[in-house]
Structure 1
């Protein structure tokens, strides 16, 4: 049995590692555009140069798995083509290309490895008193602004978003505001419509929907809302956001040989995150193992437990949730929350590497 895994993020890595332990006769190839496993939950640390966010992929994959550097251009009927003209065939395929960031011209995306590397270099070149604008009020934006503000107190950091940390409870959102204020991050609840570059490569003027504008020496785009178009380009059915539509077993509704997992999959109730990607990858591998062993496949079910948000290295917020990911009233903050976020980040990497992961079932 020949299995191809497209993408080596959390979902793709755990799928490959889990499958090799259950289908020993499978020939598994992981195709990834870079030779490293990237911890998406640590990209804000890479931007601020406070931590690493990559590990050689070969050290993340178990023995018996082949890692191939490349980018898949199209998935066809039992075959793939690469952007360099190469091709391969498969009996089963795991599509796990994750999500991506499409910034406004003049801004640097910080939700991708390449963008984080560019942002890190641009940030290091800024002098005392420069202004950094982070666009996006979700977790990526909040964590990026906080990390930069703590690492570079000589800079003025501004966070701009239509709303800030909206998935948290009202009290937890207020605690996030307190943490940002402690770090002297200016918060502007507005929508950015244009980034006009000035003399510097990434500096210029940021314009808001209200008509207001302000100068920015570096503008970072932290809205992770897009997915690669590989599924759509390959003729798989996608939803309006471009995510591949899947059945209850996480298989493409067009081709049962193709499992779609992680941010690029339109799984009902799933929030793009490693919390959702890892169990999807594990379940898809388990499902394929059951199929090839003549057992009945089980529908995917997954429930959430909490949301984790860092506010620098020593502060954060943990928001316990119901299984449907709605916030509870209780929250945890401060150093305890920062430690919990760090442990969660380590566990996500550990689980992807070892394929050991357990999760809650979904809401009834």
Structure 2
């Protein structure tokens, strides 16, 4: 009997996994996604700032791949009967499940975020922020100053100079970067007129701005929330082993430690390197995890022992508007070295990485 592989989520890791599963196994493959478009999530700050992004229908990206698609929101996973339930569709029975549902903005950890803040974590949310900012000038407070927050703040400040952009961070700006990286980041925020508030911890988001934990109020017309991400509760609700954040706990082959017919990849899985370090949420880790998970599925279906995940970090790529960027080179464990690339060369470097991430969606066979 032909096995059925169901892949949940058509993001940077899920789409690759579905196409490779159809190519490298004799299974029937079904890909489930809430929308019929692929979202270049790493470009959503550009969409929010008023730029246009290319339209990427899943049907085009899957053309000829031999993957069946089901468009709809996953509502439940029943691991006992190996069934996935999707709103508006028939139940899907699986033999192997690849869980790649990604992450979304954390709207629950601070009061008022869900009601009053905007995010750039999804296409609809980025479009909503874009529409909010279109009428004219105002004060925009970006809460959270790691990669997403830095990219959102610099893109808005460059593309929309009529806006007053504030960037809030609980620690110091760029504290995970090298000294050279921090200096360049500070030069860029100064050049773009971004006001940086270090040591600012938000205790509440209100319609007219933010309340900080020291009791002070920071006025803002729009609050952009980039301070953290969360994963869907589906894995936890299904009874899969998850960590304290709800991420599926997987072994060195990306297989669930509690359910051997299930694999987890991308943001929604807690994958670790051999030394125990957990891989961070990023398409840079999600993309290479997809072929490894599919390789493990294919090997086990063929009665072979799969290879364990091997991964090392190389750089962190941060766009700083369209005319500048910062490439922070790192050690294998993601800790920074002093070497950085900045300016126009860094822009070309970052754009090459982003285009490459889309290229492998079209041609995943190039991945090992």
Work out whether the TM-score is over 0.5. yes
2:203 to 193, 212, 217: 193
Shift of 1:59: 1.6
Using the alignment, how far apart are the partners of 2:189 and 2:28 within structure 1? 49
1:225 to 217, 229, 232: 229
Sort the Cα spacing of 1:193 and 1:342 in 2 relative to 1 into closer, same or farther, 3 A: same
Gaps of 5+ in 1: 198-203, 360-364
Shift of 1:51: 3.6
Check if 1:354 corresponds to 2:339.
no
Using the alignment, how far apart are the partners of 1:343 and 1:334 within structure 2? 14
1:239 to 233, 240, 243: 243
Q: Deviations over 1:7-40 (max 9, x none)?
A: 00011011111122211x3211110001111111
Residue pairs, 1:66-105, within 5 angstroms: 66-76=68-78, 77=80, 78-84=82-88, 86-103=90-107, 104=113, 105=115
Alignment check: 8 A CA contact 2:209 2:223 kept: no
Shift of 1:151: 0.7
Shift of 1:108: 1.0
Q: Deviations over 1:124-165 (max 9, x none)?
A: 12x23x111111111100000111111111111111111323
Alignment check: 8 A CA contact 1:191 1:209 kept: yes
Alignment check: 8 A CA contact 1:40 1:53 kept: no
Alignment check: 8 A CA contact 2:312 2:332 kept: yes
Shift of 1:53: 6.2
Shift of 1:295: 2.0
2:62 maps to what in 1? 61
Using the alignment, how far apart are the partners of 2:227 and 2:22 within structure 1? 35
Alignment check: 8 A CA contact 2:105 2:229 kept: yes
Residue pairs, 1:175-186, within 5 angstroms: 175-186=184-195
Alignment check: 8 A CA contact 1:111 1:223 kept: no
- CA RMSD, aligned part only? 1.5
1:216 to 217, 220, 225: 220
Shift of 1:174: 2.0
2:159 to 151, 155, 163: 151
Gaps of 5+ in 2: 108-112, 273-277
Using the alignment, how far apart are the partners of 2:308 and 2:341 within structure 1? 33
SS in 1 for 2:312: coil
Check if 1:318 corresponds to 2:327.
yes
Q: Deviations over 1:220-240 (max 9, x none)?
A: 111242111111011111101
Shift of 1:87: 1.0
Alignment check: 8 A CA contact 2:231 2:267 kept: yes
1:362 maps to what in 2? none
Check if 1:48 corresponds to 2:58.
no
Alignment check: 8 A CA contact 2:360 2:367 kept: no
1:263 to 260, 267, 270: 267
SS in 2 for 1:157: strand
